[in-house]
Amino acid sequence: MTDDTAATEAAADEIGYAAALAELSEILHELDGDEVDVDVLGGRVRRAAELLRICRDRIASARFEVEQVVTDLDPTTPLPTPETPDPPPAP
């Protein structure tokens, strides 16, 4: 990975979910139009993929945090881990 790629990924990860979703919506609207510039098409699709990754990561992170809070409320439930995000159902 080059320094430029790492810097771009770090900057992309700093964007919030709402901002990523809004930018993704703009890109989709742009790509849906009839006047898509072929010279920028690849870059826009690549950015859309990055934004999708960011949104999915934010959702997964939020889900994990919520599961941890719920688990903390019931000390008999095993704590979920990233490898096994869904704890077994309580008896």
**Quick one: which of 87, 82, 22, 84 has its CA closest to 51?**
22
Q: Is the dihedral of CA 35, 40, 46, 47 positive or negative?
A: negative
pLDDT digits (tens, 9 = 90+) for 40-88: 899 999 999 999 999 999 999 999 999 888 888 876 766 666 665 565 5
pTM metric for this prediction: 0.63
pLDDT digits (tens, 9 = 90+) for 77-89: 666 666 655 655 5
| Domain residue ranges in the chain | 3-73
Q: What is the pLDDT of residue 37?
A: 87
Query: How far apart are alpha carbons 4 and 68 in whole angstroms?
Result: 35
Query: How far apart are alpha carbons 48 and 58 in whole angstroms?
Result: 15
**Quick one: which of 58, 76, 57, 77 has its CA closest to 67?**
77
